[in-house]
């Protein structure tokens, strides 16, 4: 049996590419030095796959920033404002990725978007009516030859023309269809060059096929590939899909002249059914995505072999065992995790360990004695998992009743009660939670972590910071205060560390965008809260002022979405466990006199299914109730806030209203306040604080600017429901601009009150 890897992480085992790029940006190293680091990473990646005997290894899966951006540059899709900089090709590339500010000009970066349902972000290609798509680079050929020189024959991974055209943003009158001929000839020329270079396989990544497709989409796809495949010469072409099933186009795809088709049998809920009902063409290779490219758990070999034998029944010997998607979405290697007990790590497989899994399954399938031993060891692993279950948690989840998901009394009655009790002015002012995380704040946390200072010292420092932060907010004149979140490194890791059932890694970094990586914690077992987590800090903050202080928590859906979830129970079940833990925290805060509590759901949208038809049934129908479970136990007079950012909300407004919070604050300043129309149309009941300025930039917004934003908001939101706040937490900002901005914000709110 042959094996295939769709793509490999490229940030470097120890994030070498990240650090080298950052040095390059600061002009501490030269372009040559950066290129050398990249070459070394590619070499290591290829050789580890070769050593693991992978039959189909990808080249061109490397990228300095993002593969979609690479494709845009390869196809000459470089907007004029970047060309006009007249800087080197690499600098132009980075200008598109990160913006450029210097002696050659001043341009913002291209937009960035979530890559399907992952936490990876791609650069959105921008195509205007004058765009001339043609082959204008040679990266795929160069990388193929580079691997070949190392003795590694590769398949060349390319973002497919259909997905590329669908993900692009069109700034003029033209649309994807208008560029299909140009795109076909550019790719055809590239295929010709690859043939001349001696390549035998190319892989076209077409994940867009797993989305809901229109009739026009299907026509476009067929037109592109009918043309392209008629000119493939000696090349073999693999059509690679992932992140779901291709139910809308399966028969069309199998009818085209592809030599291999890659299907995702893990996330594709209908993939197995599609293959079973429609069969699979005898003359093609079926690349079966069975090794999870998105999660870190060891593969269950018995189960995988069962699927393989089912597929052998349909496609005979032509089955290739593959990863389900690129391994980009998992960390590099377990070798950096010596601190974690074997009891845990033996259940994990990061990218390098997944290579071993491919070769082990191949050995088992070959029927060798070694294979038999491997299989029985794997079975033992799944029978004897270090106990992760907590019966009390399971019983509690099982006992959740319908009423537990409903807060009483209804929103409008609560709104009245809360207005009376809190006595806030019209257009109340507040912040999203965190205040600047200065060097000294981080140092204090690190010193405590390393045991360099005592717990008492650590606490005393933070209390001092809270005192200052409260005094500052009083001086500025904000209405609802926060404690500042000085004890938190990260909104998910902090809670994970205080919940049982979590495991943390040292090196398990995953690329999120460009040089930015995240290190998601792992949900190991049943999750529960042993002791109160935030009560101590909130209570202290409250003791420093007579104004209301908002308690600050992260919601269960966000905690789950930014962790590696379990696979032995559903994510719904895990989320409910986390919801109960956070519910306990909410009730403890309330019992300690905190009468406003914010539960952040920044990542609510992250696991929204790719098909709209699945949005509710597969996700929102349990995710939204899980949020309500967190706050449904509080008294009518306790005000529940939530906060969302990083994503579009316009299309899920009713679901957000159904979270039944009393107030929601969100990021709106960058999206031209389009969301306001959607709120109006949907008769949004929840009180709202659309961010009045963008905290991602150090720029201080003027009073007039904020007044203008509020004036616009008042056209769509009734005065009695409008809050005034920045669009996200202030932790990445400096003290100076924070104070100046908030002073202007308070001043603007006053002006609008007076005007009324």
Interface residues with ligand GLN (CB under 6 A) are: 432-434, 485, 491, 552, 600, 602, 643, 645, 728-729, 731
Closest residue to ligand GLN, judged by C-beta, is 729
199 contacts Zn ion (rule: CB under 5 A): no
Closest distance of CB 730 from ligand GLN, Å? 7
Q: Would you call 21 helix, strand, or coil by DSSP?
A: helix
Closest distance of CB 557 from ligand GLN, Å? 13
- Of 1-9, 204-212, 453-461, 722-730: span binding Zn ion (CB under 5 A): 722-730
Closest distance of CB 643 from ligand GLN, Å? 5
Closest distance of CB 493 from ligand GLN, Å? 13
Catalytic residue, from 498, 641, 643, 696: name it: 696
State the residue for tokens 């692009």. 168
Report the distance separating Cα 644 and Cα 380, nearest Å. Answer: 43
Burial code of 393-404, b = ≥16 C-beta within 10 A, e = fewer? beebbeeeeeeb
* Annotation marks residue 696 as catalytic: yes
In the complex with ligand GLN, the residue whose CB is nearer, 68 or 668, is 668
Nearest to 582 by CA among 625, 527, 621: 527
Residues 724-743 that bind Zn ion (CB under 5 A): 728
With contact defined as beta carbons under 8 Å apart, do 137 and 73 qualify? Answer: yes
In the complex with ligand GLN, the residue whose CB is nearer, 128 or 490, is 490
Report the distance separating Cα 255 and Cα 258, nearest Å. Answer: 8
- Of 210-218, 243-251, 347-355, 720-728: span binding Zn ion (CB under 5 A): 720-728
In the complex with ligand GLN, the residue whose CB is nearer, 125 or 551, is 551
Report the distance separating Cα 278 and Cα 215, nearest Å. Answer: 20
In the list 237, 466, 578, 645, the residue contacting Zn ion (rule: CB under 5 A) is: 645
**Would you state the torsion angle of the CA atoms of residues 280, 285, 290, 291, taken in this order, to the nearest 10 degrees?**
-170
CB contact set of 26 (below 8 Å; sequence gap of 6+): none
- Of 132-140, 209-217, 644-652, 686-694: span binding Zn ion (CB under 5 A): 644-652
Report the distance separating Cα 229 and Cα 733, nearest Å. Answer: 52
Report the distance separating Cα 184 and Cα 133, nearest Å. Answer: 9
In the complex with ligand GLN, the residue whose CB is nearer, 66 or 600, is 600
Nearest to 277 by CA among 238, 307, 239, 247: 247
Closest distance of CB 554 from Zn ion, Å? 11
Nearest to 550 by CA among 484, 488, 597: 597
Closest distance of CB 664 from ligand GLN, Å? 12
In the complex with ligand GLN, the residue whose CB is nearer, 45 or 538, is 538
Q: Which x/- pattern, by CB under 5 A, does the window 593-622 give for Zn ion?
A: ---------x--------------------
Tell me how many degrees the CA angle 105-106-107 measures, rounded to the nearest 5. Answer: 120
Structure tokens, 463: 């209390």
In the complex with ligand GLN, the residue whose CB is nearer, 478 or 552, is 552
CA atoms within 13 A on the CB side of 88: 5
Report the distance separating Cα 656 and Cα 648, nearest Å. Answer: 12
Instruction: Give the DSSP letter of residue 480.
Output: B
500 phi/psi in degrees, rounded to 5: -85, 155
β-pairing, 260-264 vs 236-240, is parallel
Q: Which does 487 bind (CB under 5 to 8 A by kind): Zn ion, ligand GLN, none?
A: none
Closest distance of CB 443 from ligand GLN, Å? 19
In the complex with Zn ion, the residue whose CB is nearer, 292 or 665, is 665
Residues interacting with Zn ion, by CB under 5 A?
Answer: 602, 645, 728
Catalytic residues: 696
């Amino acid at each position: 049996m042959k094996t295939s890897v769709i793509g490999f992480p490229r940030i470097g085992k120890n994030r070498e590419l990240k650090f080298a790029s950052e040095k390059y940006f600061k002009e501490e190293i030269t372009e040559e030095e950066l290129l050398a680091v990249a070459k070394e990473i590619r070499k290591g990646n290829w050789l580890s796959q070769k050593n693991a005997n992978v039959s189909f290894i990808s080249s061109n899966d490397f990228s300095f920033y993002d593969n979609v951006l690479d494709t845009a540059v390869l196809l000459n899709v470089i907007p004029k404002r970047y060309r006009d900089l007249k800087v080197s090709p690499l600098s132009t590339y980075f200008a598109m990725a990160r913006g450029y500010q210097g002696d050659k000009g001043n341009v913002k970066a291209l937009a960035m978007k979530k890559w399907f349902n992952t936490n990876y972000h791609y650069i959105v290609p921008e195509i205007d009516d004058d765009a001339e798509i043609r082959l204008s680079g040679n990266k795929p050929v160069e990388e193929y030859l580079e691997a070949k020189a190392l003795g590694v024959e590769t398949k060349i991974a390319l973002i497919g023309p259909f997905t590329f055209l669908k993900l692009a943003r069109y700034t003029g009158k033209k649309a994807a269809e208008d560029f299909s001929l140009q795109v076909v000839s550019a790719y055809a020329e590239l295929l010709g060059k690859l043939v001349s270079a001696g390549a035998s396989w190319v892989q076209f990544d077409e994940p867009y096929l797993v989305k809901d497709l229109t009739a026009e989409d299907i026509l476009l796809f067929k037109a592109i590939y009918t043309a392209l495949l008629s000119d493939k010469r000696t090349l073999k072409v693999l059509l690679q899909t992932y992140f779901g099933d291709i139910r809308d186009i399966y028969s069309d795809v199998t009818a085209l002249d592809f030599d291999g088709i890659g299907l995702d049998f893990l996330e594709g809920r209908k993939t197995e059914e599609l293959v079973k009902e429609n069969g699979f063409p005898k003359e093609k290779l079926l690349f079966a995505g069975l090794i999870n490219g998105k999660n870190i758990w060891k593969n269950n070999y018995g189960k995988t072999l069962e699927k393989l034998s089912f597929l052998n029944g349909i496609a005979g010997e032509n089955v290739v065992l593959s990863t389900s998607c690129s391994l980009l979405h998992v960390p590099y290697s377990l070798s950096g995790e010596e601190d974690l007990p074997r009891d845990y790590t033996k259940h994990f497989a990061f990218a390098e360990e997944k290579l071993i899994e491919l070769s082990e399954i191949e050995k088992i399938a070959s029927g060798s004695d070694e294979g038999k031993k491997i299989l029985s060891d794997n079975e033992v692993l799944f029978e004897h998992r270090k106990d992760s279950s907590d019966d009390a948690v399971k019983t509690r989840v099982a006992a959740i009743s319908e009423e537990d998901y409903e807060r009483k009394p209804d929103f409008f009655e609560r709104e009245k009660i809360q207005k009376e009790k809190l006595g806030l002015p019209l257009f109340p002012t507040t912040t999203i939670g965190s205040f600047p995380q200065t060097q000294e704040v981080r140092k204090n946390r690190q010193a405590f972590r390393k045991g360099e200072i005592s717990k008492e010292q650590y606490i005393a420092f933070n209390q001092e910071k809270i005192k200052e932060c409260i005094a500052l907010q009083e001086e500025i004149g904000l209405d609802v205060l926060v404690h500042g979140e000085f004890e938190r490194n990260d909104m998910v890791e902090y809670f994970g560390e205080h919940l049982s059932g979590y495991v943390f890694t040292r090196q398990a970094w995953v690329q999120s965008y460009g040089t930015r990586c995240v290190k998601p914690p792992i949900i190991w077992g049943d999750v529960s809260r042993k002791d109160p987590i935030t009560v101590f800090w909130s209570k202290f903050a409250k003791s420093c002022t007579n104004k209301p202080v908002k308690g600050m928590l992260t919601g269960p859906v966000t905690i789950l979405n930014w962790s590696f979830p379990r696979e032995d129970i559903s994510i719904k079940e895990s989320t409910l466990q986390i919801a109960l833990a956070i519910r306990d925290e909410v009730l403890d805060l309330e019992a300690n006199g905190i009468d406003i509590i914010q539960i952040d759901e920044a990542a609510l949208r992250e696991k929204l299914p790719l098909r709209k038809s699945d949005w509710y049934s597969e996700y929102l129908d349990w995710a939204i109730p899980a949020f309500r479970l967190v706050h449904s136990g509080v008294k009518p007079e306790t005000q529940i806030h939530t906060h969302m950012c990083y994503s579009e909300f316009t299309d899920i407004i009713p679901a957000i209203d159904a979270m039944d919070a009393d107030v929601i604050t969100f990021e709106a300043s960058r999206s031209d306040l389009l969301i306001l129309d959607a709120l109006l149309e949907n008769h949004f009941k929840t009180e709202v604080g659309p961010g009045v300025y963008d905290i991602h930039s150090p720029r201080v917004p003027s009073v007039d600017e904020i007044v203008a934003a509020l004036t616009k908001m008042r056209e769509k939101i009734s005065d009695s429901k409008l809050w005034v706040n920045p669009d996200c937490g202030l932790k990445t900002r400096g003290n100076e601009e924070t104070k100046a901005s908030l002073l202007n914000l308070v001043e603007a709110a006053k002006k609008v009150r007076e005007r009324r």
